[in-house]
Amino acid sequence: MDSAGPAPVGLVADVVRFSWVDGPGNRYAVFFQGCNLDCLACHNPHTMPRRTPLARAVTIEQLVDDVRAIAPFLSGVTVSGGEATLQAPFVAAWFAALRAHPDMARLTRFVDSNGCADDATWDLLLPVTEGVMLDLKALDVATHRELTGLGNAQVLHSLDRLVAERRLAEVRLLVVPGHNDSEEALRSTGDYLAQHAPGVPVKVIGFRPHGVRAAARHIPAPTDDERAAYGAWVAASVGEQLVTVV
């Protein structure tokens, strides 16, 4: 991680100027290019490589101007990916610029992250970030490795730190049939979250094969009943009012 100063440009896979699914309210969402995990179930696999001719470079000024044009319609902005924290210096500088602008200071700034970020990265981001939506791909380390290619020690550390600094807005559980969908796994994940992140909303997301890589296309999407069961297992300890199932 280069923390010497803000990078002059960010590498972006996509920008969604009105997003209703990346945090509270209507949000300007930037999907950064490049990810440090290699998730089997990723539904945007084109955002995974760090470098690709499909991505485009943007400056902070460009993003600030683009948000300003539509600021009256927004609750805030969200960075996602790929993994936005890989470009933390750029993100932090952009967030700071938004916060400094009289027309845009009211916008909330959210980060959507897989949690594979070190303390230096969070040191950069958290002073200018209102909320983080954190993916927990699996609580069990072997399952996490099987689904993402890496263990989850850093993810769990990030979760604890975000809770401690009151920045954890939501935990997202992507449930992939045959991998992390057992009752036991989801109940123990619920227990863990109730203990480590009390009061934090949890979104339980059923796997959908749309957009995934060939290796994951054979995995079936869970039925409505199955998704409801996932939610109920997590909610057993987290509390029903905090759990949303999509």
Partner 1 sequence: MPEFRERARTIVDSPALTYRQRVQALAGLAEESLDPPKVSAECAAALETGLVCDIAEGHAPYRPRYLLPDYSRALAQGSEFLGLAAPTDLYEAIAFLLSMYSQVPSITGYPVYLGDVDRLLEPFTQDVDDETLTRLIRLMWVTIDRTLPDAFTHANLGPDDTRVGRTVLALERELLQTVPNLTLRVDPRRTPDSFVLDAVRTVFACGKPHFVNHPMMTGDLGPDYGVVSCYNSLKVGGGSHTLVRLNLAESARRHTGDVESYLATTLAEHVALNAELMAARIRSLVEDAQFFDHSWLVDEGLLSLDRFSAMFGIYGLAECTNTLVASAGGAGTYGHDADATALGWRIVERVAELVATTPLPYCDGNDGVAFLHSQSGIDSDVGVTAGTRIPIGAEPPLLEHLLAVTPNHRHFAAGVSDIIHFDDTATRNPQAVVDVIRGAMATGMRDVTFNLDSNDFIRITGYLVRKSDLAKLEATGVARHGSDILAAGSVANSHVTDRAVKRVISSESAPRVVG
Residue 173: phi, psi to the nearest 5?
-115, 110
Beta bridge partners of 11: 57
User: Strands 76-80 and 9-19: what pairing?
Assistant: unpaired
SS3 121: helix
Number of residues that bind partner 1 (CB under 8 A): 15
Sign of CA dihedral 155, 158, 160, 163: negative
Give the separation between CA 210 and CA 113, rounded to whole angstroms. Answer: 21
Q: Contact between 74 and partner 1 (CB under 8 A)?
A: yes
Q: Contact between 72 and partner 1 (CB under 8 A)?
A: yes
Q: Contact between 246 and partner 1 (CB under 8 A)?
A: yes
Beta bridge partners of 56: 12
Nearest distance, CB of residue 113 and partner 1, angstroms: 20
Q: Contact between 25 and partner 1 (CB under 8 A)?
A: yes
Span from 59-67, 73-81, 123-131, 209-217 in contact with partner 1 (CB under 8 A): 73-81
How distant, in Å, are the alpha carbons of 10, 69, 159 from that of 165?
A: 26, 32, 10
Restricted to residues 31-70, the positions that interact with partner 1 (CB under 8 A) are: 70
Nearest distance, CB of residue 55 and partner 1, angstroms: 22
Task: Out of 44, 62, 75, 154, point to the residue binding partner 1 (CB under 8 A).
Answer: 75
Q: Contact between 4 and partner 1 (CB under 8 A)?
A: no
Chain-centre distance for alpha carbon 50? 17
List the structure tokens of 130: 């209102």
Q: Contact between 102 and partner 1 (CB under 8 A)?
A: no
Tell me whether residue 24 or residue 239 sits nearer to partner 1 (CB atom). Answer: 24
Tell me whether residue 73 or residue 153 sits nearer to partner 1 (CB atom). Answer: 73
Binding site for partner 1 (CB under 8 A): 17-18, 20-21, 24-27, 70, 72-75, 244, 246
